[in-house]
Amino acid sequence: MKVPLLDLRAQLATIEDEMVEAVVNVVRSTRYIQGPEVEGLEQEIAEYSGVARGVGVSSGTDALLVSLMSLGIGQGDYVLTTPYSFFATMGVILRVGAKPVFADIDLESYNIDPEKMAEVLAADVDHKIKAIIPVHLYGQCADMKAINKLAEQYNIPVVEDAAQAIGAEYPLVHADGSVEVKKAGALGTCGCFSFFPSKNLGGIGDGGMVVTTDEKFADHLALMRNHGMNPKYYHPSVGGNFRLDPIQATALRVKLPHLNSWHDGRRENADSYAEMFARTSLLDEAKVVLPKRVYQEFEGEIAGRFHIYNQFILRVEKRDELRDFLLAEGVGCEVYYPVPLHKQECLGAYSHGLSYPEAEKAADTTIALPIYAELTAPMQQYVVDKIAEFYSKDC
Ligand SMILES: *Cc1c(COP(=O)(O)O)cnc(C)c1O
């Protein structure tokens, strides 16, 4: 059997005619820059995420970049973030001329640890940290209540890297004990989405969006994604061309109504994996550690999609050997991310002496399994059987 890590064809089959028609309509409209499809998607994503505004941009990376540019982050500034994420999270910090400062992750959630952030912020006596970028890694929100509390204390904006978490919910517990369900992107100063094809909401090419409840900031973002231009050919600020393509916007509008059911498919598959692994001895022997639903205690009480499983991540023994074995047996899998950000070569001497043991552990021991909604039970059983086979031969 062959089980791919992701099968976009299986998803496309359910919406292909509508998708082709939508794209052809844009071709025939000759509206190729901005226009009604982009505006329509901006409104729909804003509504879906529970925020006032959406600003369509050219990628998730550019969503982060234009956010930092719009906040005026640059030379001499530091930005606090996680050492365990896709490179873009750190790349944008360096590209605006600022420097990343890291706080280690919590290994159970893979997200930045607010206690470690508090230590880093307390040590920043010159107040050089001018922004925080938490990442909602793999589809589960970081501990945003604690992060926002720190951000308020130090008066620093929070740019959510929600590239992997569009639609992921977060249980915000208020002082009176009531729980408000919020969505990724609606928790910080602004939230950044990616429509890279492998994200839960993927386009037919690159795309992204910044969402925010702050109308004035949204206006500034909209200016900055179009060369900082207003009115035409007058430039109060230096922005760039970070516009979203209407062909991407129309394709995403076809997909958005299905997004929650695709999330649910992934969540059901995660439950199935948990049951299948529980029938092996792999969990008891600690060969395999399943992904943790950090906000599980709130499920049922308030039905929340607190994890949308952009990736289904195991921590395993002998990770690299397992990966090679699975690939040889036709099971798609991937290592996200083998090198933590603080160890990336491009940092040069800046990285010397930096050590974040939890992020390093995650980088050394995690592996992603297929989790897309159209995955079947026999395919999942095959994946689990192959993993069990690997460890039975092994010892
Ligand atoms: C995918 C991703 C990005 C970048 O998005 P692109 O659309 O590929 O530019 C940024 N951060 C994280 C965490 C991502 O997973």
Instruction: With respect to residue 116, please indicate whether it lies within any of the assigned structural domains.
Output: yes
What CATH number is given to the structural domain containing 153?
A: 3.40.640.10
Tell me if 247 sits within 8 A of 33, measured CB to CB: no
Q: What is the pLDDT of residue 19?
A: 98
> Mind giving me the DSSP string for 22-76?
HHHHHHHH---SSSHHHHHHHHHHHHHHT-SEEEEES-HHHHHHHHHHHTT--TT
List of residues 6+ apart from 330 with CB closer than 8 A: 1, 2, 3
Q: Per-residue pLDDT tens for 199-245?
A: 999 999 999 999 999 999 999 999 999 999 999 999 999 999 999 99
Instruction: With respect to residue 47, please indicate whether it lies within any of the assigned structural domains.
Output: yes
Q: What is the pLDDT of residue 394?
A: 57
Instruction: With respect to residue 1, please indicate whether it lies within any of the assigned structural domains.
Output: no
For residue 282, the CA-to-ligand 1 centroid distance in Å is 32
Q: Are residues 104 and 156 in the same domain?
A: yes
Q: Are residues 341 and 232 in the same domain?
A: no
In whole angstroms, what is the distance from residue 80 CA to residue 98 CA? 11
Decide the pairing of beta strands 78-81 and 129-133.
parallel
Q: Are residues 174 and 279 in the same domain?
A: no
Q: What is the pLDDT of residue 80?
A: 98
In whole angstroms, what is the distance from residue 134 CA to residue 357 CA? 18
Ligand 1 atom with the smallest distance to the CA of 89 is 11
Per DSSP, the three-state class of 229 is coil
Decide which of 225, 256, 287 is a domain's last residue. Answer: 256
Q: pLDDT in tens for each of the 395 residues of the chain?
A: 999 999 999 999 999 999 999 999 999 999 999 999 999 999 999 999 999 999 999 999 999 999 999 999 999 999 999 999 999 999 999 999 999 999 999 999 999 999 999 999 999 999 999 999 999 999 999 999 999 999 999 999 999 999 999 999 999 999 999 999 999 999 999 999 999 999 999 999 999 999 999 999 999 999 999 999 999 999 999 999 999 999 999 999 999 999 999 999 999 999 999 999 999 999 999 999 999 999 999 987 777 999 999 999 999 999 999 999 999 999 999 999 999 999 999 999 999 999 999 999 999 999 999 999 999 999 999 999 999 999 998 55
What CATH number is given to the structural domain containing 376?
A: 3.90.1150.10
The total number of structural domains in the chain stands at: 2
- Cis amide linkage into residue 171, ω under 30° from 0: no
Tell me if 307 sits within 8 A of 291, measured CB to CB: yes
Q: Are residues 247 and 292 in the same domain?
A: no
Q: What is the pLDDT of residue 22?
A: 98
List of residues 6+ apart from 212 with CB closer than 8 A: 51, 52, 53, 55, 189, 190, 191, 218, 221
Per DSSP, the three-state class of 142 is coil
Instruction: With respect to residue 289, please indicate whether it lies within any of the assigned structural domains.
Output: yes
Instruction: With respect to residue 383, please indicate whether it lies within any of the assigned structural domains.
Output: yes
Residue to substitute in 58, 161, 193, 248 for testing ligand 1 pocket (most ligand atoms within 8 angstroms of CB)? 161
Instruction: With respect to residue 282, please indicate whether it lies within any of the assigned structural domains.
Output: yes
Q: Are residues 218 and 362 in the same domain?
A: no
Give me the amino acid identity at 147. Answer: I
Nearest CA, atom 6, ligand 1:
60
Q: Are residues 157 and 303 in the same domain?
A: no
Expressed as residue numbers, the domain containing 317 is 258-392
Decide which of 229, 256, 283 is a domain's last residue. Answer: 256
In angstroms, the Cα distances linking 221 to 133, 160, 225, 256 are 17, 15, 6, 23
Task: Give catalytic residues, as residue numbers.
Answer: 199
Instruction: With respect to residue 2, please indicate whether it lies within any of the assigned structural domains.
Output: no
Ligand 1 atom with the smallest distance to the CA of 62 is 9
Q: What is the pLDDT of residue 395?
A: 55
Give which of 166, 224, 132 is closest to 50, Cα–Cα: 166
Q: Are residues 242 and 279 in the same domain?
A: no
List of residues 6+ apart from 253 with CB closer than 8 A: 22, 37, 40, 41, 44
For residue 162, the CA-to-ligand 1 centroid distance in Å is 8
Q: Are residues 195 and 320 in the same domain?
A: no
Q: Are residues 46 and 126 in the same domain?
A: yes
Burial group, residue 99, by CB count within 10 angstroms (0-12, 13-18, 19+) = middle
Instruction: With respect to residue 130, please indicate whether it lies within any of the assigned structural domains.
Output: yes
Ligand 1 atom with the smallest distance to the CA of 88 is 10
Q: Are residues 196 and 65 in the same domain?
A: yes
DSSP 351: G
Threshold 0.85, pTM exceeds: yes
Q: Other CB atoms closer than 10 Å to residue 271's CB: what's the count?
A: 11
Q: Are residues 248 and 215 in the same domain?
A: yes
Residues within 6 Å of ligand 1 by CB? 59-61, 85-86, 88-89, 135, 161, 163-164, 194, 196, 206, 208
Give which of 143, 146, 158, 144 is closest to 108, Cα–Cα: 143
Decide which of 198, 229, 256 is a domain's last residue. Answer: 256
Q: Are residues 150 and 180 in the same domain?
A: yes
